[in-house]
């Protein structure tokens, strides 16, 4: 899978993009392409963006996406300054920070620092997505990330943080009293990041979601590194857990079968893992999984026979087993890949 579409909703709000000349040109080209495909008149100009106009009047009604177009002349720093001047950021509750330039180029001022330096101008910010790049801007493993702990320090009222990209990502052990949701999406999650997250003091954390990826793209986290989490010793408010996108899905399920953390987690998301019938057998027979409210296995390598067994064994669980996959076979050898790698 590749991530090739921007979010349309974040933090329960519709996403509205802060425009730039390049973004408006991109929007016009997309509208023209859609018109040609649908055999409709091709527009030569854009109608006013009603969603943007409404969001300007009520900045708290939208999640604002900030991004520059790849190869744009305007820097992200200049673009961000326009946003601060145009939008009443004291009312903004949700931000999604997307592409800040070519993945191989120095962005100049790191967008993290722009947010930190202007934190006082966002007193109501509760939700932040940092790194919402799509494939045409940068593959997930090429997104130039950074130490994101200063974002938590700068926004003590932040309740939701999502981060995309593992290259250069750092998350040293930290503390935050308000954070309720933490999502880290990577094609390769470094062990140092995992251990930093699990060593952090996050007493309000209800949802944790980690994408592990593959070693070729920096995924050095192993299932052993999750021992403190599986032991149920961390994050007392945790109720929803996503352990996704690993090569070791079968072993993960085996560890989860007798993990104390499942005594209090109601929602378990194992999407994107290399999960075969070996792990399916554990899911079908271990009592721990029958106590879940919801189990998500979207993208997996389970056979139809095993899926039937799971549906019967977990009849009381809201079960999502969509997205079945087949391994790549070359010269009689099957190779299994997690959902997101590059």
Check: CB of residue 267 under 8 Å from CB of residue 293. yes
Percentage of residues in the chain with pLDDT exceeding 90? Answer: 80
What is the pLDDT of the chain when averaged over all its residues?
A: 93
**How big is the chain by its Cα radius of gyration, in Å?**
21
Residue 108 pLDDT > 60: no
Has residue 274 been placed in a domain? no
Residue 107 pLDDT > 90: no
DSSP H helices, 107-238, are 111-117, 149-154, 191-198, 227-230
Residue 77 pLDDT > 70: yes
In this structure, what token pair is assigned to residue 4?
């090739």
Has residue 83 been placed in a domain? yes
Has residue 75 been placed in a domain? yes
Please tell me the predicted confidence (pLDDT) of residue 276: 97
Which residue, among 280, 202, 271, has the nearest Cα to 241 in the 3D structure?
271
Contacts 24+ apart (CB under 8 A), 35-43: none
Has residue 323 been placed in a domain? no
Has residue 280 been placed in a domain? no
Q: Kindly report the pTM of this predicted structure.
A: 0.93
Has residue 319 been placed in a domain? no
Axis-axis angle for helices 277-285, 249-256 (nearest 10):
10
* pLDDT tens profile 253-279: 999 999 999 999 999 999 999 999 999
Residue 183 to residue 189: CA distance in whole angstroms? 12
Has residue 286 been placed in a domain? no
Kindly report which listed range (36-50, 216-230, 270-284, 296-310) carries the lowest average pLDDT score: 36-50
Report how many domains make up the chain: 1
Element at 85 (helix H, strand E): helix 76-86
CATH code, 148: 3.80.10.10
Residue 141 to residue 86: CA distance in whole angstroms? 33
Quick one: 57 exposed, middle or buried, by C-beta within 10 A (0-12, 13-18, 19+)?
exposed
Percentage of residues in the chain with pLDDT exceeding 70? Answer: 95
Has residue 277 been placed in a domain? no
- Domain enclosing residue 218, as ranges: 9-269
Please tell me the predicted confidence (pLDDT) of residue 33: 76
Query: What is the average pLDDT across 33-49?
Result: 76
């Amino acid at each position: 899978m590749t991530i090739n579409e921007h979010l349309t909703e974040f933090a329960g709000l519709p996403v509205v993009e802060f425009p730039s000349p390049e973004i408006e040109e991109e929007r016009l080209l997309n509208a023209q392409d859609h018109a040609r495909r649908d055999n409709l008149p091709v527009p030569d100009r854009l109608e006013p963006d009603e969603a943007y106009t409404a969001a300007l009047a009520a900045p708290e009604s939208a999640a604002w996406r900030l991004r520059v177009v790849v190869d744009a002349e305007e820097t992200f720093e200049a673009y961000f300054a326009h946003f601060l001047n145009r939008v009443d950021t004291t009312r903004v509750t949700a931000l999604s920070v997307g592409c800040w330039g070519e993945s191989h180029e120095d962005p100049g001022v790191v967008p993290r620092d722009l947010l930190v330096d202007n934190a006082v101008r966002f007193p109501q910010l509760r939700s932040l997505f940092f790194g919402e790049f799509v494939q045409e801007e940068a593959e997930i493993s090429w997104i130039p990330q950074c130490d994101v702990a200063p974002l938590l320090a700068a926004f003590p009222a932040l309740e939701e943080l999502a981060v995309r990209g593992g290259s250069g990502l750092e998350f040293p052990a930290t503390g935050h009293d308000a954070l309720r949701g933490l999502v880290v999406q990577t094609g390769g999650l470094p062990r140092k990041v995992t251990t930093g997250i699990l060593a952090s003091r996050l007493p309000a954390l209800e949802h944790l979601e980690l994408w592990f990826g593959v070693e070729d793209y920096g995924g050095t986290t192993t299932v052993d590194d999750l021992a403190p989490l599986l032991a149920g010793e961390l994050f007392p408010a945790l109720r929803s857990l996503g352990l996704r996108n690993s090569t070791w899905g079968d072993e993960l399920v085996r560890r989860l079968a007798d993990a104390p953390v499942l005594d209090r987690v109601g929602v378990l998301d194992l999407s994107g893992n290399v999960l075969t019938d070996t792990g399916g057998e554990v899911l079908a027979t271990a009592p721990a999984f029958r106590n879940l409210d919801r189990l998500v296995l979207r993208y997996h390598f389970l056979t139809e026979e095993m899926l039937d067994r799971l549906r019967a064994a977990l009849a009381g669980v809201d079960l999502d087993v969509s997205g079945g996959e087949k391994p790549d076979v070359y010269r009689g050898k099957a190779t299994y890949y997690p959902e997101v790698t590059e």
